[in-house]
Amino acid sequence: MRVLAGDIGGTKTLLQIVTREKGYCHSSHTARFDSRAWSNFIPIVEEFLRTAPPPVPEVACFAVAGPVEGSRAQLTNLPWEPLDAFRLARHFGLHRVRLINDFSAVGYGIEGLSETEWVTLQAGQARLRAPRALLGAGTGLGQGIAVWVNDRYEPLDTEGGHVDFAPVDEEQDRLLQFLRIRYDHVSYERLLSGAGLMDIYQFFCGAIHEASAISAAALAGSDPIAVHALRLFARIYGQQAGNLALTCLARGGVYLAGGIAQYILPFLQDGAFLHAFRSKGRMEPVLREIPVHVILNPRVGLLGAALVAV
């Protein structure tokens, strides 16, 4: 069966045509689009299918960075009109279209990865069929939980990236006060995102730089303020990862996805992330036993969408 799989985010949209045979996926055509350069999703798919080799796909599954309710989904960080599965199916002549949350797609996609496609920050002691926690900073902060149902992991949609940011020291207290001036609600997504890294940097020095430039300067060690900002970003990332791990008691592992984690991997490996992850008082021994992995495959969501399209 020919499947059209998509991973739609606030920065980029990935589309891929996949042939499903006996549970395996074989991709035949993939393209990346700048989401913000398009006014809606349908023209992106039209452009993709215009250059795709025949035959046309029969079904589709799109992973969406935003809440999904039945056949409709709204992207959180794009001003597009809501996606409607039935409308998309009619427009493109597909038998069926399924919409899922982007971190549900990550939860499904993990099953298609090999162990060479992630880096382990903490080995822990994984427990068979125990819940998994999914977390990823990018344009926004995606979160999900996967639980064992019957014979496989089933992800549960969440919008946990929008929970209240909770500072843990005086520096973070001051950061929260700084952010309250510009936002009516300071969530973890306000910090754990590209825009969040820019705000953290501005908090320290008043200057505004792109997140990619801050990360590059920090990784190169050429800007001490950028280094300090990225270290704080990594600590807050660890804090929220630990929060999510305790919320669902993720003894099956915590998986970090999204482009930022891959790019800043050295800052996640230097100890600050794990110290913040574990620093939960009496619960520290529990968190030391939970495996923590950084997913290296940037198309894990696309893989998950392809795996559950039929």
Confidence (pLDDT) at 27 = 75
Q: Which residues contact 137 (CB under 8 A, 6 or more apart)?
A: 192, 193, 196, 237, 258, 260, 261
Q: All domains of the chain, ordered by start, with CATH?
A: 2-109+300-307 (3.30.420.40), 124-290 (3.40.367.20)
CB 212 within 8 A of CB 254: no
| d(C-alpha 164, C-alpha 234), whole Å | 18
Confidence (pLDDT) at 288 = 98
Confidence (pLDDT) at 54 = 84
Helix (DSSP H) and strand (DSSP E) numbers for the chain: 12, 14
Q: b vs e for 84-115, b when ≥16 Cβ sit within 10 Å of the residue's Cβ?
A: bbeebbeebebeebbbbbbbbbbbbbbebbee
For 247-272, the DSSP string reads HHT-TT-EEEESHHHHHTHHHHHSSH
| Secondary element (H or E) of residue 87 | helix 85-92
pTM of the model: 0.93
Confidence (pLDDT) at 22 = 64
Q: Which residues contact 222 (CB under 8 A, 6 or more apart)?
A: none
Confidence (pLDDT) at 1 = 83
Residues in the chain with pLDDT < 70?
A: 22-25
| d(C-alpha 50, C-alpha 57), whole Å | 12
CA dihedral (255, 257, 262, 267) in degrees, to 10, reads -60
Confidence (pLDDT) at 194 = 96
Residue with tokens 């149902």: 149
